[in-house]
Amino acid sequence: MKFLHTSDWHLGRSLYGRKRYAEFAAFLDWLIQTIEDEKVDALLVAGDVFDTSTPSNRAQELYYRFLCRVAASCCRHVVVVAGNHDSPSFLNAPKELLRALNVYVVGSMTDDPADELIVLKNNPQISQMDADKKTKQNNLGESAQSADNVDAIICAVPYLRDKDIRTVEPGETIDDKNRKLVEGLKAHYEAVVELAETKRNHLRESAQSADKYIPIIAMGHLFTAGGKTVDGDGVRELYVGSLAHVGEEVFPSSIDYLALGHLHVPQAVGSAEHIRYCGSPIPMGYGEATQEKKVVLIEFSPQISQMAADEKTQKEICGNPRNLRITEKNIPCFQELVRIVGSLDDIHAKLEELKKEESSAWLEIEYTGSDIISNLREMLDEAMVDSAMEIRRIKNRRVMERVMSTIAEDETLDDLDAGDVFTRCLDAFEVPDEDRVELTVSYNEIIKDLREEDVNAE
């Protein structure tokens, strides 16, 4: 059986005010074609489907139209979990309807870990989630199932919010909070995976084929220790305090593959090749502009052997004990982003080079020359005449330095972010350095709670 792992679509995201729907549509078209070309059986979407908890009508249209197209393809199952940018109630609202298309959505953690357990059958018409009321009456649901008609068991763990996995106690230190967060994450994965193992054992007992292997695939949306990020990728700190980043040892060893979302750089976690981030499908900012974007193909088969692959677009990891082949497949660039940094001569030279190439790139330009140029925007706009390129942002470092060196009385709130304002408040009230750490952590917790509030919930 072949799976495709993707995440962090961030449908609806803009770039310095420029809408990017054409890029998202092009990616989803490519994804459909890839599913058909690779004969993918199941699609895994590991969170952050949308960029905000209140996605636009156009972003929703892209999402639902894509799911309909997948249902009409060779792909027999789709599993979607929520990320920290998603509204759990918004994603969950149509999940009963989407199940008619064999699309399974898990928007939030519930009191029953079985709600995150999904059994994928090789007959999609009878595929079902263990959270179904009928299945819950018989917790393991073996009556209509055996290993012979089950392809895989999915532990569809969504983004776990602080309040889901940690109880607050008076007098806690920052280290206490971080320790309890990691323990809560570990306990939740252990509970869901234990149910999956029990399910698999019962299915094996009823199998006609004794050597039938049923893989356990887990999903998640979290930040692992040592994970790579890039500047400007928009990846938010999930939990207050960097010690809450979890290591590979947190996840049960019986997981055959763990499909993660949240980090936008494709990467394996530590030394565990079967625990992976696939990354975001398009660059979310100029920090990702030169990055190779990927999806991950996972194939389970007792007969898997090492096969040749196109070195330019694929990387195979073979010879593991899980009867597993992992292939990274490059995603084409649908909109070129170019960052230009340098003196005025450097900038003009690069612009001329791009114009000769008939580039249609979106540009971020940072002027670092020694002269102060107050009309930089007008000069660059003139240089861009008869070009298909767009300037999305100009940073004039010399003007910025001059402004920052002056008295701050001309500043407005538009010039500051929430963290800047809080720092100014601490300065204004002359708060001692030894008190600032706890106050800053508490403040960040409030900001995080505001961002995670599910505005669609009632």
List the beta bridge partners of residue 105.
80
Q: What are phi and psi of 120, to 5 degrees?
A: -95, 120
Neighbours of 401 (CB within 10 A): 10
What pLDDT score was predicted for residue 354? 95
The residues, ordered by sequence, that sit 6+ positions from 328 with a Cβ below 8 Å of its Cβ are: 266, 294, 295, 296, 297, 314, 315
Distance from C-alpha of 147 to C-alpha of 270, rounded to nearest angstrom: 32
Q: Look up the pTM and report it.
A: 0.81
Q: Where are the beta strands (DSSP E) in 252-335?
A: 257-261, 267-269, 272-277, 294-300, 314-317, 324-330
Please return the burial class of 414, using the count of CB atoms within 10 Å of its CB with bins 0-12, 13-18 and 19+.
exposed
Q: What is the pLDDT of residues 152-179, one digit of tens each?
A: 999 999 999 888 888 777 877 878 888 8
What pLDDT score was predicted for residue 312? 41
Tell me which residue of 133, 147, 145, 188 sits closest to 165, measured CA to CA. Answer: 188
H helices of 367-456, in order, are: 376-383, 397-404, 418-428, 433-452
Distance of CA 277 to the CA centre of its chain: 8
What pLDDT score was predicted for residue 203? 87
- CA separation (Å) from 190 to 42, 98, 155, 249? 24, 28, 10, 11
Neighbours of 428 (CB within 10 A): 8
- Mean pLDDT of successive 10-residue segments in the chain (458 residues)? 96 94 98 97 97 95 97 96 95 95 95 95 58 45 62 95 82 81 92 95 74 89 81 55 68 95 92 93 92 95 46 42 84 96 94 94 92 86 91 79 52 62 78 82 74 61
Q: Which CATH superfamily is domain 2-330 in?
A: Metallo-dependent phosphatases (3.60.21.10)
DSSP H/E element including 341: strand 337-342
Distance from C-alpha of 294 to C-alpha of 292, rounded to nearest angstrom: 7
Q: What is the pLDDT of residues 85-118, one digit of tens each?
A: 999 999 999 999 999 999 999 999 999 999 999 9
- CA separation (Å) from 279 to 35, 172, 276? 18, 34, 9
Fold equal for 2-330 and 337-452: no
Neighbours of 429 (CB within 10 A): 7
The residues, ordered by sequence, that sit 6+ positions from 320 with a Cβ below 8 Å of its Cβ are: 273, 274
Please return the burial class of 168, using the count of CB atoms within 10 Å of its CB with bins 0-12, 13-18 and 19+.
exposed
At the topology level, CATH places domain 337-452 in: Double Stranded RNA Binding Domain (3.30.160)
Tokens of 399: 């003007």
Amino acid symbol at 359 = S
Structural domain spans, the chain: 2-330, 337-452
Q: What are phi and psi of 451, to 5 degrees?
A: -70, -35
What pLDDT score was predicted for residue 211? 65
What pLDDT score was predicted for residue 408? 53
Tokens of 64: 């639902």
Q: Does residue 79 sit in helix, strand or coil?
A: strand
Give the side-chain half-sphere CA count within 13 A for 15.
Answer: 27
What pLDDT score was predicted for residue 409? 53
